[in-house]
Amino acid sequence: MTTRKTSPLSQSELYEALKKRQGWAYDYLYGELSHSFRYWVERNSGTEMDAEDAFHKGLLNFLLNLETGKYEFRENTKITTVVFDYCKKVWLNELASSRLKKRAIMPDAYDPVNDVDLQKDLERAETIAQVRAALDQLKADCRRLIEMFYCDELSLKEIAKKLGMKESSTKQKRYDCTEKLKQLVLKQAPRN
Amino acid sequence: MNHEQFDRVEAYLQNALSGPERLAFESELKENTELRTEVEVQQKIRLGLRALAIEKRILDARKRTQITPKTTIVRTLGKVQNWGLAASVAVMLGAGWLAWQYNQESGSSQLRELAEQEMTDVRYKSMPFDSLQNITKNANSEDARQKAEWYVALAYMHEGKKKEAKGLLIGIAKNPDHAYQKRAEKLLKEGFK
């Protein structure tokens, strides 16, 4: 009887799993990085809450870039290092902001304000907030359907089954609800 | 915007249009302001909803990976010291209970440590318990089913569920074809004397 050696996790496996939003891959990143990142923030003028906030923002930026193709995976890159860097930049940007400018001297020569990629990533927060606010204003049945379709990525057939509706009615309802959401998002958007 | 136009914009954003359809759509985009606004707002909604889905998963991961604080024997002893001599009988009973508690705690921490040593595959280690159990029943390959079964036993050990862990390990150790038979035997000797 041979005891087999368990294979170590390859970076491309982790990348693919994150792309598919597999729970274990999210858990892995969280487990591997949250403590070390908190330690780093606490050593760089931040609190535990600052660390958690920056960690979530950095992780979200990375995962959004991964899903939208903005982040391109390279075989020799360690994903945890990349994610740590995303989170680190978020915190350095916070430190450079007017709110915290007086709290500490910047620990790095890096200038987050002139990091175009970072600023673009952070600008998305505005869009996310608008969509969240619009979604909250939708009626419960519409919100549920939109979440099932766009967030949980269920097919119309699966949604129809869950809601006890015909597939054709579900398609029409999805259209109507998305239209309502669109109007609410447009209302939220700042006018130029 | 009618249903058909809506579907067309969606297909464009999902990269589902054919080459010529895409070119035609893009040239229309240059001329048609209303269509441009429609694409922008649908893009915005998709991005926002995608972010909300990711946020939800991040929070789930946080919940799953959060370590619950362990009650330590030191803290319990601290309370005992304050009771004073007047409650000597209670202290004696308490001491008995503490000794039992200590044995339970040290046994659990030994099991946790042994399980940690064996959990060398981070994918399986990080997997939610339900997913592991699902693999033990539904995976196509015997290898995957056996590995998941092994990790279910380790997860039980890790959580201090001695009885459940032992039951599974005995099953694995009794099966000469199980990939983890030897390791299960070893764990039974080391952790369940």
Is the confidence at residue B79, as pLDDT, over 50?
A: no
Cβ <8 Å between B52 and A128: yes
Lowest mean pLDDT among A37-41, B109-113, B182-186: B109-113
Instruction: Give pLDDT, residue A1.
Output: 38
- Total count of domains within chain B: 2
Range B7-14 average pLDDT: 89
**A3 domain-assigned:** no
Q: Which residues of A touch B150 (CB under 8 A)?
A: none
End residue of a domain, out of A125, A154, A179: A125
Contact predicate A38/A55, CB 8 Å = yes
For residue B166, being part of any structural domain is answered with yes
Q: Which of B29, B57, B121 has the alpha carbon at shortest distance from A67? A: B57
In this model, does residue B69 exceed pLDDT 50? no
Q: What is the mean pLDDT of residues B53-72?
A: 75
**Buried-exposed string B157-186: b where 16+ CB fall within 10 A, e elsewhere:** bbebbbeebbebbeebbeeeebbbbebbeb
Count the neighbouring beta carbons within 10 Å of the beta carbon of residue A100.
15
Q: Which of A49-53, A108-112, B3-7, B54-58 comes out lowest in average pLDDT?
A: A108-112
Q: What is the C-alpha to C-alpha distance for residues B63 and B80, in angstroms, rounded to an integer?
A: 33
Contact B100, B173 (CB under 8 A): no
Q: Which residues of chain A make contact with B50, given a CB cutoff of 8 A? A: 64, 67-68, 150-151
Scanning every residue of chain A, which has its alpha carbon at the shortest distance from the alpha carbon of B151? A6
| A4 in any annotated domain | no
Tell me which chain B residue has its CA closest to the CA of residue A173: B3
B93 falls in which pLDDT band (50, 70, 90)?
low
Arithmetic mean of pLDDT, B163-172 = 88
B117 Cβ neighbours under 8 A, 6+ residues apart: none
B45: which residues sit within 8 A by CB, 6+ positions away?
Answer: A131, A150, A178, A181, A182, A185
Answer yes or no: is B74 within a domain. no
pLDDT at residue B76, as a whole number: 36
Say yes or no for a CB contact (<8 Å) between B61 and A179: no
Tell me the one-letter amino acid at A62.
F
Instruction: Name the residue among B136, B124, B120 with its Cα closest to residue B172.
Output: B136
Specify whether B61 is located in the same domain as B92.
no
Output the pLDDT for position A106. 60
**Overall average pLDDT of the B139-166 stretch:** 82
Say which residue the tokens 């204003």 belong to: A137
Contact A130 B53 (CB under 8 A): no
Model pTM score: 0.64
Q: In this predicted structure, what is the pLDDT of residue B138? A: 64
| A153 in a structural domain | yes
* Stronger pLDDT, B67 or A174, i.e. the higher one: A174
- pLDDT for A192 equals 45
- Is there a single domain that holds both residue B56 and residue B140? no
Q: Tell me the HSE value of A11 on the side-chain side, using a 13 A CA sphere.
A: 12
Specify whether the CB–CB gap between B187 and B193 falls below 8 A.
no
Contact B60 A23 (CB under 8 A): yes
Q: Could you tell me if residue A5 is inside a domain?
A: no
- On whether both B10 and B45 belong to a single domain, the answer is yes
Q: State the count of interchain CB pairs (< 8 A) between A and B.
A: 131
Asked if the structure places residue A131 within a domain, the reply is no
Question: How many CA within 13 A on the CB side of residue B46?
Answer: 15
Determine the distance in angstroms separating the CA of A182 from the nearest CA of chain B, rounded to an integer.
7
Domain assignment present for B72:
no
Closest CA to B144 of A29, A7, A192: A7
CB contact under 8 A, A131 and B41: no
Q: Tell which of A12, A19, A30, A187 to mutate to test the B interface (max B CBs under 10 Å).
A: A30
B81 found inside a domain: no
CATH code for the domain in which residue A166 is found: 1.10.10
Phi-psi region of B125 (alpha: psi -120 to 50; beta: other; left: phi over 0): alpha
Q: Would the CB atoms of B48 and A130 count as touching at under 8 Å?
A: yes
ipTM (interface predicted TM): 0.86
The count of other CB atoms within 10 Å of the CB of residue B130 is: 9
Structure confidence at residue A58 (pLDDT):
96
Max distance between CA atoms of chain A, in angstroms, equals 72
**Phi-psi category of residue B127: left, alpha or beta, with phi > 0 → left and psi -120 to 50 → alpha:** beta
User: Of the residues A84, A103, A125, which one is the last residue of a structural domain?
Assistant: A125
pLDDT of residue A103: 59
The answer to whether B41 contacts A185, with C-beta atoms less than 8 Å apart, is yes
Sign of CA dihedral A63, A66, A72, A73: positive
Same structural domain, A80 and A155:
no
Nearest CA in chain A to B47: A128
Higher pLDDT, A9 or B100: A9
Helix (H) / strand (E) element for B17: namely none
Number of domains in chain A: 2
Mean pLDDT score of chain B, rounded to an integer?
77
Identify whether B49 is part of a domain. yes
Boundaries of domain holding B13: 3-65
| pLDDT < 70: residue spans in chain A | 1-8, 98-109, 189-192
Distances (CA, A) of A189 to B46, B124, B126, B184: 15, 44, 40, 60
Domain that holds residue A161: 138-192
By C-alpha distance, the chain B residue nearest A152 is B53
Name chain B contacts of A3, Cβ cutoff 8 Å.
Answer: 179-180, 182-183
Rounded CA-CA distance B189/B113 in Å is 15
CB spacing of A24 vs B131 below 8 angstroms: yes
A130 is a domain residue: no
Which residue of B13, B34, B45 to mutate against A (max A Cβ within 10 Å)? B45
List CB contacts (< 8 A) between A186 and chain B: 41
A100, A180: one domain: no
Give the one of A27, A153, A179 whose C-beta lies nearest to B64's C-beta: A27
* Least confident residue range of B35-44, B86-95, B184-193: B86-95
What is the DSSP code string of A24-75?
Answer: HHHHHHHHHHHHHHHHHHHTTT--HHHHHHHHHHHHHHHHHHHHHT-S---T
